[in-house]
Amino acid sequence: MSRIRIPPQLRGEVGGAREVPAEGGSVRELLDDLLSRFPALRHQLVEDGDLAPFVNVYVEGEDVRTLDGLDTPVENGSTVILLPAMAGGL
Amino acid sequence: MGSNLRTAGSLLDLVGNTPLVELPHLTPKPSVRLYAKLEGQNPTGSIKDRVALAMIDAAEAAGELEPGRELLEPTSGNTGIALALVARLKGYSLTCVVPENATEERKRLLRLYGVTMLESPGEEGSNGAVRVALELAEQEPRYFMPFQYANEANPRAHYEGTGAEIAEALERVDVLVAGLGTGGTLMGAGARLRESFPDVVVAAAEPLPGDPVMGLRSLDDGYVPPILDVARLDRKVLVSNEESVATVRDLLRLEGLFAGVSAGAVVAVARRLAAELDEGVVVTILADAGWKYLSADFWDAETDAVAASMERTVWW
C-alpha cells in the first residue's frame, strides 16, 4: 500500500481527500488502482495512454518523467505526489 | 569609453562573471566538493540580470525594439527588477504583471525603479501572472513582451554565460543543480556543461507549492514553459518550503552565506545527490541572496511553524 497525494484541483473527484491509499508496484499500477475507484480523474491525468502534459507525478519527491515514466517502480509504503505543472520563474 | 579591468562603463557591463565559492561545511563528505555560483552578486542581485540583458539585446539586434517602446513581462520579481535596470538604461518603459503575493521587497523595488505594476491573483501563483500578461499583450499591441518562458535568449544567456563560466573555472563537474522556474538556467548551463563534461548529471530543484498557491481551476490550467524540455533533465526533485528554509539557515550558519529561498532548495538537492557519489564535484547555481525575503517570517520562525508561514506566498 502506498499513498497518493491529491492536489486541490482534483480533490472534488475523490470526496475531498488530500491523500488516497493505492496498491501497485509501479506508477502505472498505482494510477490504475486509483482510476478504477475514481474514474472521473482519468481525463485529467491520462492522455493517449501516457501522463497528461500538465500533470507531474513524483515518487518519493522525484519526477517520474526523469525516471522511468509510468513504469517507474514504487516501493510499498511510498508517497506519490500529483501536482499541476506550475510556472516558476523568480 | 567602455571598461578596463578596474572600472566599468555601465552597470550592464557587470552582468555575469559571478564568483564560484566552495561550501566545505555543507558537503556530506569531504571527497565530494560542493560549489556555489553566487548569482546574487549580479547588479540587481539575481541571476535574472543575465536573462533580461540577453533578451533585450537580442530584440534590439533583431530590430524588434525601438527607443520609447513599452515592455511587458510576467514575473514574481527578479526578472522584473532586472528588466527595470536594463529598461532604465536603454530608454524603455516597463510594465510587470506580478502575483499579488510576491514578497513586499520585490514589489517595492519594482516601484522604486519606476515600473508600472499590475497584480495577478495570488492563488494562481506564477501561472496567473503568465496568463494575465499573455492576455494583455494580445489586447494591447503597443507592448513588446520579451517573455522569459518562451524566449530562446534566456537559455542562450546561460549557455554562453553561466555554463561557460563554470566550465572554464572547474576541471571536473559531476552534478549541476539549479532551480527550476522557466527552465532557462538548466537548459542553457546544462547543455554547455554537457559539452565539457559529457557524463554530468543535470538536476532540477523545484518547489513543492502550498495548497493556497495552487488555485488553478483544473490541471488544464497548468503551464510548461516552451523553453523547458524535461527530457533534457537527468533528475527533477521536489523540495518542501521547510527543507528549503532549513538549508537557507544552514548556509548562513555554516558558510556565512545569506541566500534566497530557492538557493536553499538547490543546496538541499545538491547535498542529497552529493551523498550518492563516492567522490566528485557538485556545482550549484544560487539564483539570489536573502535580501528580497528579509521581511518574511520564516527566518526566525520555529521549525514546525515554517511551512505554515510560507504557504501563501510565491517564493520563486
* Cβ contacts of B293-299, under 8 Å, gap ≥ 24: B293/B103, B293/B105, B293/B260, B293/B261, B294/B105, B295/B103, B295/B104, B295/B105, B296/B103, B298/B241, B298/B245, B298/B261, B299/B249
Quick check: B94 pLDDT over 90? yes
Paired with B38 in beta bridges are B286
d(CA B247, CA B265): 7
Q: Which domains does chain B have, with CATH numbers?
A: 11-41+162-302 (3.40.50.1100), 48-144 (3.40.50.1100)
Chain A interface includes B155 (CB < 8 A): no
- Report the residue of chain B nearest A6, measured CA to CA: B211
Which residues lie below 8 Å from residue B168, measured CB to CB, with a gap of 6+?
none
Q: What is the pTM of this model?
A: 0.93
Smallest Cβ–Cβ distance between A87 and the set B130, B218, B234 belongs to B130
Distance from the A23 Cα atom to the nearest Cα atom in chain B, whole angstroms: 23
Smallest Cβ–Cβ distance between A63 and the set B47, B148, B236 belongs to B236
Distance from the A35 Cα atom to the nearest Cα atom in chain B, whole angstroms: 16
pLDDT at position B217: 65
Which residues lie below 8 Å from residue B57, measured CB to CB, with a gap of 6+?
B153
Smallest Cβ–Cβ distance between B148 and the set A54, A81, A89 belongs to A89
Quick check: B169 pLDDT over 90? yes
Q: What is the pLDDT of residues B213-248, one digit of tens each?
A: 665 666 666 788 999 999 999 999 999 999 999 999
Query: HSE of B113 in the Cβ direction (CA atoms, 13 Å)?
Result: 29
Q: Which domains does chain A have, with CATH numbers?
A: 2-84 (3.10.20.30)
- Report the residue of chain B nearest A61, measured CA to CA: B238
- Mean pLDDT over each residue of chain B, to the nearest integer: 92
Give ipTM to 2 decimals. Answer: 0.92
- Which candidate, B245, B260, B252, places its Cα nearest to that of B293? B260
> Which positions in chain A touch B269 (Cβ < 8 Å)?
none
Q: What is the pLDDT of residues B24-71, one digit of tens each?
A: 999 999 999 999 999 999 999 999 999 999 999 999 999 999 888 999
User: Whose grid coordinates read 545527490?
Assistant: B273
Mean pLDDT calculated for residue range B166-176: 98
